[in-house]
Structure 1
Amino acid sequence: MASKNDICRKIESIMPEAGACDRDFTVEYDERNHAWSVDLHRGDIHLKTFVEENEAETCLNKDRCLPLGLQIGQLKRNLELYRQS
């Protein structure tokens, strides 16, 4: 299984505009949902998404990261839209 650090570094590399892990976003494994949660935050505003285990593994092991990149990109866009409203 992927590690938090592996996923953090991959997000930072494919989506540098998301910021730095543990500063601008956090990654934790959610046992209940059997998925990785990515919590993007700016100030007091937080938005969270879940990344399925197989998507994370495919990105890390086979370098097919389009689903992960799209998901994090959309999360970032939604956060920016929320901050503007």
Structure 2
Amino acid sequence: MHEKEELCQRIVSIYPDIGLCGIDVDVEFDESKKVWAVHLTRNGHHLTHFLDIPEADACLEGKQCVALGLDIAQLRKNIEGQGF
């Protein structure tokens, strides 16, 4: 399994306009659900996306982060006009 910081840095490298690790993007492994929780925060809006381990692995290997990208697009839509 990958490390928290590695996953966070990968997400920010794919979507550089979403913010910084530990500030606008936070990643933690939820032991009870066995998924990565990606917390996105911007201008008072918050969205949490859950990545299962195979999806997180595919994202880190540069294959795809499609579902996460859709949630990021939704967050952008929610704060449209507020200077994302």
TM-score, normalised with respect to structure 1: 0.77
Task: State the 1:66 CA deviation.
Answer: 3.6
> Is the contact made by 1:24 and 1:41 (CA closer than 8 Å) also made in structure 2?
yes
> Is the contact made by 1:15 and 1:72 (CA closer than 8 Å) also made in structure 2?
no
Equivalences, count: 81
> Could you list the runs of 5+ residues in structure 2 that have no partner in the other structure?
none
> Is the contact made by 2:49 and 2:68 (CA closer than 8 Å) also made in structure 1?
no
> Could you list the runs of 5+ residues in structure 1 that have no partner in the other structure?
none
> Could you tell me which residue of structure 1 aligns to residue 28 of structure 2?
28
> Is the contact made by 1:55 and 1:67 (CA closer than 8 Å) also made in structure 2?
no
Match for 2:7: what amino acid?
Answer: I
Note the aligned Cα RMSD (angstroms).
2.1
TM-score, normalised with respect to structure 2: 0.78
Measured against aligned partners, the alpha-carbon deviations of 1:57-80 in whole angstroms (never above 9, x if no partner) come to 11213x102425524423432542
> Could you tell me which residue of structure 2 aligns to residue 80 of structure 1?
79
Amino-acid identity (%): 32
